[in-house]
Amino acid sequence: MQDVSETIHLTTLAVQPLQVIVVLALLVILATAATAATAATLVLVMAATAATAATAVIHHPVVDRLLAQWMLRMVVTPMHPT
């Protein structure tokens, strides 16, 4: 009977490191997923910021004037030469 209890005890000791490895592997997977989600969120925030900045620049009066001059020179003038 003592041999059986020693075997059970040794088996329990052998399983514990395996459980620790499995738990650590799961934690690494969860941390990686959280990092990827955070990175994706940051990319979305940066894209939204860039879009907002681009909108602000496009509606700037200087940009409007330059765009109008470019359209006159490149689009309207070739279509209607004087």
Which residue stretches of the chain have pLDDT < 50? none
Q: In this predicted structure, what is the pLDDT of residue 15? A: 56
pLDDT in tens, 58-74: 777 887 788 788 878 87
| In the chain, domain spans | 2-79
Residues 6 or more apart from 57 whose CB is under 8 A from it? 63
- Sign of the CA dihedral running 75, 76, 79, 82: negative
